[in-house]
Amino acid sequence: MTLFEPNEAQAQIRDTARAFAQKSLKQVAASLDREQRFPADELRALAELGLMGVNVPDALGGAEAGAVAYALAMMEIAQGCASTAVTMAVNNMVAETIVKFGTPEQQRRYVPEIASGRFRAASFALSEPHCGSDAAALRTTARRDLRGWVLSGAKQWITSGDVAGVIIVWARTADAPGTPPKGISCFLVEGGTKGLAIGKHEDKMGLRASSTVALAFDELHLPTSALLGAEGQGFAIAMSALDGGRIGIASQAIGIGTAALEEAVRYARDRRAFGKPIGDYQGIGFQLADVDTELAAARLLTLRAAALKEAGSPFTREGSMAKLFASEKANRACDIAVQVHGGYGYIDEFPAERHYRDARVTTLYEGTSEIQRVVIARDLLR
């Protein structure tokens, strides 16, 4: 065994994901994107392969394969279809969060549904129209009543919010906005609950086959048992979930970047200019060498963060480094892939332009690059 070499079980999950991504996802990704079609069949197939609860205990229907296997699988799935990958990422993140903070009852009720694919998806509802990076400024409220809680407010950019079997919703249970985030709590809201309104479907630049909606809670009643974790623990739960989520998005970004590099390499071998393949020109070959190098570094940063998570060690800084680096380099990879393709990089006959659009969100969601730098700097200046 050597540094950074996956073990047999991890390699097996990776290979399973690779086979499905290359055989099935890659063939449909362009049409899913064009038609903005939610990949319901593909997600069910992923659940059958054990990829909806990669790092979830076997007893709850998961694959119990660990955080490294999850990162490896995500890199592969995102190479096939980034929209399917982000839906998978959120499902896994929600399942893991319920495993980590939920009561046995909550775990039994929701986690097997997510892992088995019986839920079409699961959602994570933290962002609001007026606050993204500054999550502690959220305004959705939950007040107590005789039977439990009453939720009021609105959420924004909720991946799979319209098809989710369960949604983790963050709401203020005490204090005013802007105070230290002790007054934020976390709730499990089931899809179809009375008072849950699905708002606008966002028309996005990329990840067009993933569903992104606004949610509104109009006097939505929840039982006491819907509280996830302790009252006031919500912000800590969000930060913990996002630490892991960042490994997922870093992996997604690497998958998109790797797909773009592969397309660019293939094109650079085939396309000829001035009597030879364009890949033989240093102007092209050297750009591809930089992309190859940066993606390799991104992969190592991401696997390191995943390995720390798996070992139960702190990994906040390392997760942010992985997410920052991988998302920025994936964007560069996709930009170079478009450039190498010339005009063909700008039309939808080739996958390069889809990769370029899909990569763009990775520096934005689950913490912008700026937020990652804040997290890293805070840690290193301590």
* Contact positions vs other proteins (CB under 8 A): 1-7, 10, 68, 265, 268-269, 277, 279-280, 282, 285-286, 288-290, 292-294, 296-298, 300-301, 303-304, 307-308, 310, 318, 321, 324-325, 370, 372-374, 376-377, 380-381
Closest approach, Cβ 75 to other proteins, in A, equals: 14
- Interacting residues of 242 by C-beta distance below 8 A, sequence separation 6+: 366, 367
- Residues 367 and 273: their CA atoms lie apart, in Å, by 42
User: Within 10 A of 346 (CB to CB), how many other CB atoms are there?
Assistant: 13
Of 190 and 292, the one with the shorter C-beta distance to other proteins is: 292
Q: How far is CA 163 from CA 29, 122, 124, 320, 344, in A?
A: 20, 8, 12, 29, 35
Among the listed residues 76, 96, 128, 366, the single catalytic one is 366
Fill in the DSSP letter of residue 350.
S
* β-pair partners for 151: 142, 220
Closest approach, Cβ 4 to other proteins, in A, equals: 5
- Residues 362 and 331: their CA atoms lie apart, in Å, by 8
Q: How far is CA 60 from CA 64, 65, 116, 306, in A?
A: 9, 13, 9, 21
Of 83 and 372, the one with the shorter C-beta distance to other proteins is: 372
Closest approach, Cβ 36 to other proteins, in A, equals: 34
Of 176 and 381, the one with the shorter C-beta distance to other proteins is: 381
Of 286 and 346, the one with the shorter C-beta distance to other proteins is: 286
Q: How far is CA 31 from CA 25, 169, 207, 349, 377, in A?
A: 10, 32, 12, 11, 41
State which amino acid sits at residue 42: E
Closest CA to 142 of 163, 125, 159, 129: 125
Distance from the first to the final alpha carbon of the chain: 35
Closest CA to 161 of 116, 216, 205: 216
Q: Is 366 a catalytic residue?
A: yes
∠ at Cα 78 (290, 132), nearest 5°? Answer: 90
Of 35 and 290, the one with the shorter C-beta distance to other proteins is: 290
Of 304 and 341, the one with the shorter C-beta distance to other proteins is: 304
* β-pair partners for 65: none
- Interacting residues of 109 by C-beta distance below 8 A, sequence separation 6+: none
- Which residues are catalytic, by number? 366
